[in-house]
């Protein structure tokens, strides 16, 4: 779900405008002498238009902000981002600069410019790590990463970044209005990462590289035990250990699978596999699988 910017983002009206560099520039321009210009012009073989220095009045911050909001309303997200950027350039270290930077991130997000959103959002988080709007900046960065997660056949760096950003949001700002959605996106991203591990593990298993497959399935149980891939990971461990002839670990994997998912087709398949070898699922207390699931299996 795409959220619009919070009400407080566009409603803040900072007070007295800070000292600007524009005033210094204006004074310097007025003081310059233009007496030598005519000599230079006479040497110009092209002639044509002449330029004269002009002192441009300061553009009020409120005017820039309002113009940017109008561009947002017209869905000119790129133009809005440029205008909000002007606030930081012309009014550095002010409330206008801070709000403008957040709105740059928001404008880019609405325009689906994910990388630009991440850059602006991370800059905001770096400069302002504990404002009321910081959770929203984290949310925009996390969602930009989330929207770039590819299928499991490709690199999952974006999924890893999504997990990192949303974990920060949940842990640092547990009362934020964005926490519930962040938790859901976390679950999806973690499931994606588990799916990648399963895909690679199956690849190794199909080629009878059991040890490499076990390492991948073990990763799923260690990091992503609450995902939907846990059932299959336990079955694949049963297969892999059985293939290696490490029967006690195969029995343990099947037993843990049956304890937690007794009606699962994966458990039925694991049971059948062991039964062909004349054994049944049985927990080994010394197994790493037992330790990983100790709280779940109820083993002491």
Query: Would the CA dihedral through 157, 159, 164, 169 be positive or negative?
Result: positive
Residues 6+ apart with CB under 8 A from 48: none
Across the range 221-240, mean pLDDT stands at 96
Residue 235 lies in a domain: yes
Does 29 or 116 have the greater pLDDT score? 116
Residue 59 lies in a domain: no
How far, in Å, CA of 30 to CA of 28, rounded? Answer: 6
Rounded to 5°, the CA angle 22-27-28 comes to 95
DSSP secondary structure string, 27-81? HHHHH---TTHHHHHHT-TT---------PPPPPHHHHHHHHHHHHHTT-HHHHH
Residue 56 is predicted with a pLDDT of 45
Residue 270 lies in a domain: yes
Structure tokens at 86: 């002007």
Residues 6+ apart with CB under 8 A from 104: 81, 84, 85, 88, 120
Residue 245, pLDDT above cutoff 60: yes
How far, in Å, CA of 137 to CA of 213, rounded? Answer: 39
Across the range 18-33, mean pLDDT stands at 37
266: left (phi over 0), alpha (psi -120 to 50) or beta: alpha
Query: Would the CA dihedral through 110, 116, 122, 123 be positive or negative?
Result: negative
Domain that holds residue 255: 200-297
How far, in Å, CA of 183 to CA of 190, rounded? Answer: 10
Residue 258 lies in a domain: yes
Domain of 226: which CATH number?
A: 1.25.40.10
**Helix, strand or coil for residue 258?**
helix
Q: For the chain, how many structural domains are there in total?
A: 1
Structure tokens at 186: 């976390």
The position carrying tokens 């981002």 is 81
Confidence at 58, pLDDT banded by 50, 70, 90: confident
How far, in Å, CA of 280 to CA of 144, rounded? Answer: 48
Residue 148 lies in a domain: no
Helix (H) or strand (E) holding 3: none
Structure tokens at 191: 């499931």
Residue 9 is predicted with a pLDDT of 53
Task: Report pLDDT digits (tens) over 74-95.
Answer: 999 999 999 999 998 999 999 9
Confidence at 2, pLDDT banded by 50, 70, 90: very low
Does 114 or 37 have the greater pLDDT score? 114
Residue 16 lies in a domain: no
Average pLDDT of the chain, as a whole number: 85
Residue 237 lies in a domain: yes
Residue 233 lies in a domain: yes
């Amino acid at each position: 779900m795409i959220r619009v910017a919070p009400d407080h983002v566009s409603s803040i009206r900072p007070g007295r405008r800070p000292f600007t560099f524009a005033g210094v520039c204006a004074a310097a321009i007025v003081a310059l002498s233009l007496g030598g210009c005519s000599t230079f012009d006479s040497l110009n073989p092209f002639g044509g238009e002449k330029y004269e220095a002009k002192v441009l009045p300061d553009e009020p911050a409120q005017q820039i902000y309002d113009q940017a909001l109008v561009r947002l309303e017209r869905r000119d997200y790129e133009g809005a981002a440029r205008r909000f950027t002007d606030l930081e350039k012309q009014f550095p270290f002010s409330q206008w600069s801070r709000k403008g930077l957040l709105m740059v991130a928001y404008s880019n997000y609405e325009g689906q410019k994910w990388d630009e959103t991440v850059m602006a959002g991370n800059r905001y988080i770096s400069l302002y790590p504990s404002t009321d709007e910081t959770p929203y900046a984290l949310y925009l960065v996390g969602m930009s990463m989330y929207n770039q997660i590819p299928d499991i056949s490709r690199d999952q760096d974006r999924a890893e970044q999504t997990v990192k950003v949303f974990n920060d949001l949940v842990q640092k700002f547990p009362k934020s209005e964005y926490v519930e959605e962040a938790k859901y996106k976390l679950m999806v991203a973690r499931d994606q990462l588990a799916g990648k591990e399963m895909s690679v593990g199956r690849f190794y298993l199909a080629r009878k590289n059991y040890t490499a497959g076990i390492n991948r399935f073990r990763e799923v149980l260690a990091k992503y035990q609450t995902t939907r891939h846990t059932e299959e990971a336990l079955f694949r461990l049963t297969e892999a250990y059985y293939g290696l002839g490490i029967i006690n670990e195969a029995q343990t994997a099947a037993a843990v699978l049956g304890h937690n998912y007794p009606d699962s087709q994966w458990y039925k398949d694991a049971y059948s596999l062991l039964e062909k070898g004349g054994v049944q699922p049985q927990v080994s207390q010394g197994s790493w699988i037992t330790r990983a699931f100790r709280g779940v299996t109820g083993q002491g």
